[in-house]
Amino acid sequence: MQQKVIEYVSTIPLKIAISIVYLKSQNPIFKNGKDKLEMYVVSQTKFENPDLVNSDDIYSTCTSDFLIKKPLQAVKRYQKMLK
């Protein structure tokens, strides 16, 4: 399944922001079974400034969703990592 996700993500244009979430159940899918439910969720959104994707200014490169959903402390932490 991981290879399928890699193949899918590789088709997404570089100017599209993506996030990938991997989920795995704690319990087996079926009673008395061993296999657990696993899934990947791939979300796509547009960069506000696609021409600045390689910039080290987080406010220029991130998506509006990121700025809305992340606490200010997290945004500042990510900004430090970019510098």
Query: The domain containing residue 77 runs over which residues?
Result: 48-83
CA dist 21 and 38 (Å) reads 11
Contact criterion met (CB below 8 Å) for 28 and 36 = yes
Statement to judge: residues 4 and 40 lie in one domain? yes
The pTM assigned to this predicted structure is: 0.61
Please, what are the averages of pLDDT over each run of 10 residues along the chain (83 residues)? Answer: 90 87 95 94 84 81 85 92 84
How many structural domains comprise the chain?
A: 2
Statement to judge: residues 15 and 5 lie in one domain? yes
Statement to judge: residues 40 and 22 lie in one domain? yes
Statement to judge: residues 8 and 41 lie in one domain? yes
